[in-house]
Copies of this chain bind each other. A is one copy, B any other.
Amino acid sequence: MSTEAPAAAIRDQVHATARLAREASISLATATRLAKDAALLAAADALVADTDRIVAANELDVEAARDGGTGEHVLDRLRLDPARVAAFAQGVRDVAALPDPIGEVVRGSVLPNGLRLTQVRVPMGVIGMIYEGRPNVTADAAAICLKAGSAVVLRGSASAARSNEVIVEVMRAAIEKAGLPADLISLLPSADRASATELMRARGLVDLVIPRGGAGLIRTVVEESTVPVIETGTGNCHVYVDAEADLEMALAIVVNAKTHRTSVCNAAESLLVHRDVAEAFLPRVVAALREHDVVIHGDAAFQAVDPAVTEATDEDYATEYLDLEISAKVVDSVDDAITHVRRFSSGHTEAIVTASARTARRFTLGVDSAAVMVNASTRFTDGGEFGFGAEIGISTQKLHARGPMGLTEMTTTTYVVEGDGHVR
């Protein structure tokens, strides 16, 4: 009984928060772009003005994490300084500058019976965000959801609790002063796992849940949620170097995709090389990767090039290292490459390097991922690079949104049908 009481209390709190968010979202559905942008700019100004409070709260988070034994790498992701606060405040301003997706006519026509049919973009309603790590996601997600006409219920990580509380408090006060309901942005307690569980089971109160974080978090949300979910972020991305590749280009792309930034979901994790160019390419690519301190797990052909290459297992081929590590394999054909990718990929991004239009076409149609790069680095799968202006995550599922998600992907549509007494 003693464990039941707090669980019920957390459920009540989550439901109460979601109800307030839903109430607030109703007024936002008819808010003008001017009203939304004014609130976002006010929130950005307030974040900058309250930098000291945000940084002070963050210092407590960082200290607690350090005392808890968190490593310096993770501490750095958690840490805020005035420059980082200014950066995410600017991110909020950037969202304000984007076109309003609400009201966009997606399609329209006059039906044979004279009914006028219009499919219009409308807000989602209430969006739940369950995320780990960096507190900048708090401001980003709140700004994107607000601009897209939805209320957001945030559930960040316990390690960033104090930072998130202050960021949300500052943004709530600012948008309220600007004339929008504060409850458009709310934060759930993060000390207890139950708040996340209740959020993803608040079907009817919450329209969409987006998990953003490690594979474990995402798996949990997908398994347990009854609210519709958009899965994000896991990126076991491949680069396939074809028989007809420009090997100079291939080398640059492989090195960039693997080493430019290792901790991101669009970094390459696996290298496939066509047998016809293995002899020429393997020594060069192995040397270049080793020069960047990349640990290589390869098949026999790769191991033959350099004794430092360890044997790749199926587990390696399935792993998203997010580090200076890569799996590597020689394949007999583009179809072999496609089969390998279909088996091991997480469906994020694959790249092919080839001069052959036919092979590029075959690979593009053959793999089944959110993005396919032809003669370009996997690192380009990104809302900013794609010109979306803002990104709330990268969807690796097929339903609703696939690839980088911007404002449009945070909306739904409705059909408006205008008649003059039409009956069937």
Contact = CB atoms under 8 A, between A and B. Distances in A.
B423 A252 contact: yes
B371 A414 contact: yes
Contacts of A30: 365-366
Given A226-B223, A385-B111, A387-B111, A380 B412 contact: no
Given A30-B365, A222-B226, A375 B419 contact: yes
A416 interface: yes
Contact of A415 (B119, B257, B403): B403
Nearest to A365: B30
Contacts of A122: 368
A412 B379 CA distance: 22
A207 interface: yes
B372 A415 contact: yes
A29 interface: yes
Contact of A412 (B207, B374, B398, B413): B398
Contact of A414 (B226, B230, B402): B402
Nearest to A102: B365
A421 interface: yes
Nearest to A404: B415
The interface centre, meaning the residue of A249, A400, A417 with most chain B CB atoms within 10 A of its CB, is: A417
A398 B208 contact: yes
A318 interface: no
Contacts of A111: 385-387
A256 interface: yes
Interface string A405-418: 00000001111111
A109 B109 CA distance: 26
Contacts of A387: 109, 111-112, 117
B415 A371 contact: yes
Interface string A250-265: 0011011100100000
A414 B112 CA distance: 33
Interface in A348-369: 360, 364-366, 368-369
Interface in A226-250: 226, 228-230, 246, 249
Interface of A: 26, 29-30, 109, 111-112, 115, 117, 119, 122, 124-125, 203, 207-208, 222-223, 226, 228-230, 246, 249, 252-253, 255-257, 260, 342, 360, 364-366, 368-377, 379-381, 385-387, 397-400, 402-403, 412-424
14 contacts: A29-B365, A30-B365, A115-B385, A124-B398, A203-B222, A222-B226, A228-B228, A228-B397, A371-B414, A374-B418, A376-B418, A400-B400, A402-B413, A402-B414
